[in-house]
């Protein structure tokens, strides 16, 4: 589908009117991989909001949906640097200017089948907008990996959502689409986090409550914290520590009685 998009169409606002030319509309494709359909929900939401074309990446040999089996195969492929063979795409990726590229995080980076797409070269020189779902990890490392793997692509702001927070996915996606000029609307300007300092007892309680919902965070301690006030409540950026390893843990406490929740852990 052809899209007219603020950021994606150069409006030439500073040129005299006679010289103003609108660039051709950009073609946008949502290309995603998903085993248990979480990333699929996000892909379909992006497709609905943008009217873009959409395609699911499919491997010739489908991955098992059983978690342990999936871990076993994907670990072996990761260690052996195996690129799984893909079924041919229905869409010709070369025809598109902007590719929303969606994936579940596997071992903190994009899932193995995405590596096959990258290696094929079809994303070279494109605008690639990553999006992902995960258990707890933030999107950051996968975006760094993507930038290294696709040095000729433009990779603008992106978004990751935890699978247990899919009710918050539409708002997170809308924010990115507005920033990209793909959706009407105005985003709240968010302040920087305040400087990191030792957490108060209340902040430590917020940290402990937020991570208590996720067993893999057991034993993680809050070391320091910065915060910012938003229209919804307070966002915290904690530095946490477990087994000598430090990580950034992003937590939101909305106004009212709702429990705090963590949105991402960047290790």
Ligand X SMILES: Cc1cc2nc3c(=O)[nH]c(=O)nc-3n(C[C@H](O)[C@H](O)[C@H](O)COP(=O)(O)O)c2cc1C
Instruction: By CB under 6 A, name the binding residues for ligand X.
Output: 34-40, 70-71, 74, 104-108, 133-137, 163
CB-nearer residue toward ligand X: 125 or 219: 219
Q: How far apart are CA 9 and CA 22, in angstroms?
A: 7
CB-nearer residue toward ligand X: 102 or 199: 102
Q: How far is the CB of 133 from ligand X (least distance, A)?
A: 3
Q: Can you read off the two tokens belonging to residue 4?
A: 């007219």
Say if CB 226 and CB 246 are below 8 A apart.
no
Q: How far is the CB of 264 from ligand X (least distance, A)?
A: 9
Q: How many C-beta atoms lie closer than 10 Å to residue 77's C-beta?
A: 17
CB-nearer residue toward ligand X: 132 or 225: 132
Q: Can you read off the two tokens belonging to residue 112?
A: 């193995």
Q: Check residue 64 and give left, alpha or beta (phi > 0: left; psi -120 to 50: alpha).
A: beta
CB neighbours of 199 closer than 8 A, spacing ≥ 6?
207, 222, 223, 224, 225, 238
Q: Can you read off the two tokens belonging to residue 55?
A: 């395609």
CB-nearer residue toward ligand X: 57 or 98: 57
Residues in the chain: 267
H-state helical runs in 93-237: 112-120, 140-149, 169-179, 201-211
Q: How far is the CB of 24 from ligand X (least distance, A)?
A: 33
Q: How far apart are CA 129 and CA 112, in angstroms?
A: 18
Q: How far apart are CA 267 and CA 264, in angstroms?
A: 10
CB-nearer residue toward ligand X: 98 or 247: 247
CB-nearer residue toward ligand X: 70 or 122: 70
Q: How far is the CB of 71 from ligand X (least distance, A)?
A: 5
CB-nearer residue toward ligand X: 133 or 227: 133
Q: How far apart are CA 9 and CA 3, in angstroms?
A: 9
Q: How far is the CB of 152 from ligand X (least distance, A)?
A: 27
Q: How far is the CB of 50 from ligand X (least distance, A)?
A: 19
Q: How far is the CB of 138 from ligand X (least distance, A)?
A: 8
Q: How far is the CB of 131 from ligand X (least distance, A)?
A: 11
Residue 150 phi, psi dihedral angles, 5° rounding: -125, 70
Q: How far apart are CA 165 and CA 176, in angstroms?
A: 17
SS3 19: helix
CB-nearer residue toward ligand X: 152 or 243: 243
């Amino acid at each position: 589908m052809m899209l007219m998009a603020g950021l994606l169409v150069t409006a030439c606002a500073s040129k005299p009117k006679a010289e103003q030319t609108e660039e051709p509309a950009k073609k946008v494709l949502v290309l995603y991989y998903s085993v248990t359909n979480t990333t699929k929900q996000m892909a379909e939401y992006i497709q609905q909001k943008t009217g873009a074309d959409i395609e699911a990446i499919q491997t010739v040999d489908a991955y098992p949906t059983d978690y342990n089996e999936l871990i076993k195969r994907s670990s072996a492929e990761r260690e052996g640097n195996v690129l799984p063979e893909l079924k041919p795409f229905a869409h010709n990726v070369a025809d598109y200017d902007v590719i929303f590229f969606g994936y579940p995080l596997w071992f903190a980076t994009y899932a193995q089948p995405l590596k096959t797409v990258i290696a094929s070269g079809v994303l070279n020189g494109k605008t690639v907008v990553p999006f992902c779902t995960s258990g707890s990890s933030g999107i950051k490392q996968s975006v760094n990996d993507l930038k290294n793997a696709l040095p000729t692509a433009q990779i603008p702001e992106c978004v990751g959502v935890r699978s247990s927070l899919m009710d918050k996915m539409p708002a997170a996606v809308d924010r990115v689409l507005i920033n990209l000029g793909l959706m009407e609307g105005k985003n709240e300007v968010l302040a920087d986090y305040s400087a990191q300092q030792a957490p108060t007892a209340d902040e430590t309680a917020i940290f402990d409550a937020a991570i208590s919902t996720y067993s893999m965070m057991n034993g993680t301690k809050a070391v320091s914290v910065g915060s910012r006030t938003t229209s919804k409540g307070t966002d915290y950026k904690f530095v946490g520590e477990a087994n000598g390893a430090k990580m950034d843990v992003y937590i939101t406490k909305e106004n009212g009685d709702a429990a705090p929740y963590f949105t991402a852990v960047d290790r």
